[in-house]
């Protein structure tokens, strides 16, 4: 089965990571469940590494918090290759709408770049933003707003 890390993350989000479902299963049991669901060991391990990088304790992504609230993010060539103009525009919109702050934006970009897929489309970006916000304390309102955006898009696609 050709699944990628993003598919594993989507499965985990749908089944285990929402506010309604507290994870009561340990990591090894979850990994076992995922491999029995058809995901490869490598993708499962990479998905758990990806999720571990979302924890607030991770200080590898830091921004200068003294930055002006009005800043412009310059994307490097690798980021521009992976993130379409629509994706970069969405990040700017989310920051201007105060859904993401500069630190969250950098974490989203870092997590997008960590995905092994080639180009990231707008749908995937929105899911990454949702997963980042889910794991950031004090971002419940932004998470709820983003969840509605993602779920509305998903419902529209089904009709």
One-character DSSP codes across the chain: ----HHHHHHHHIIIIISTTS---S-HHHHHHHHHHTT--HHHHHHHHHHHHTTSTT--SS---TTS-SS--PPP-HHHHHHB-HHHHHHHHHHHHTTSS-HHHHHHHHHHHHHS-SSSBPHHHHHHHHHHHHHTSTT-HHHHHHHHHHHHHHHHHHH-
The pLDDT tens digits for 55-76 are 765 555 454 544 445 567 899 9
Spell out the domain ranges in the chain.
Answer: 1-52, 73-159
> First and final CA of the chain: distance in angstroms?
28
Find which of 12-16, 17-21, 55-59, 125-129 is predicted with most confidence, using mean pLDDT.
125-129
Nearest to 145 by CA among 133, 137, 128: 133
The pLDDT tens digits for 139-159 are 999 999 999 988 876 655 554
- Per-residue tokens: 138: 């004090």
pLDDT at 90 over 60: yes
pLDDT at 16 over 50: yes
- Least confident segment among 47-56, 60-69, 124-133, 134-143: 60-69
Average pLDDT, the chain: 82
Q: What is the CA radius of gyration of the chain?
A: 16
What is the mean pLDDT of the segment spanning 123-151? Answer: 91
- Least confident segment among 4-8, 93-97, 124-128: 4-8
The structure's pTM equals 0.80
Higher-confidence position of 151 and 123 = 123
Residues linked to residue 107 through DSSP beta bridges, in sequence order: none
Higher-confidence position of 71 and 51 = 51
């Amino acid at each position: 089965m050709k699944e990628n890390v993003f598919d594993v993350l989507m499965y985990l989000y749908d089944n285990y990571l929402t506010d309604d479902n507290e994870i009561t299963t340990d990591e090894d049991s979850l990994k076992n469940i995922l491999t029995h669901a058809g995901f490869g060991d490598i993708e499962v391990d990479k998905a758990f590494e990806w999720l571990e990088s979302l924890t607030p304790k991770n200080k590898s992504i830091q921004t200068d918090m003294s930055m002006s609230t009005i800043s412009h993010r310059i994307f490097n060539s690798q980021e521009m290759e992976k993130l379409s103009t629509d994706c970069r525009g969405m990040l700017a919109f989310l920051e201007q709408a105060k859904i993401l702050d500069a630190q969250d934006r950098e974490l989203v970009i870092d997590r997008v770049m960590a995905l092994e897929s080639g180009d990231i489309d707008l749908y995937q970006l929105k899911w990454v933003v949702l997963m980042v916000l889910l794991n950031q304390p004090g971002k419940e309102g932004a998470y709820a707003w983003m969840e509605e955006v993602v779920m509305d898009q998903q419902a529209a696609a089904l009709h």
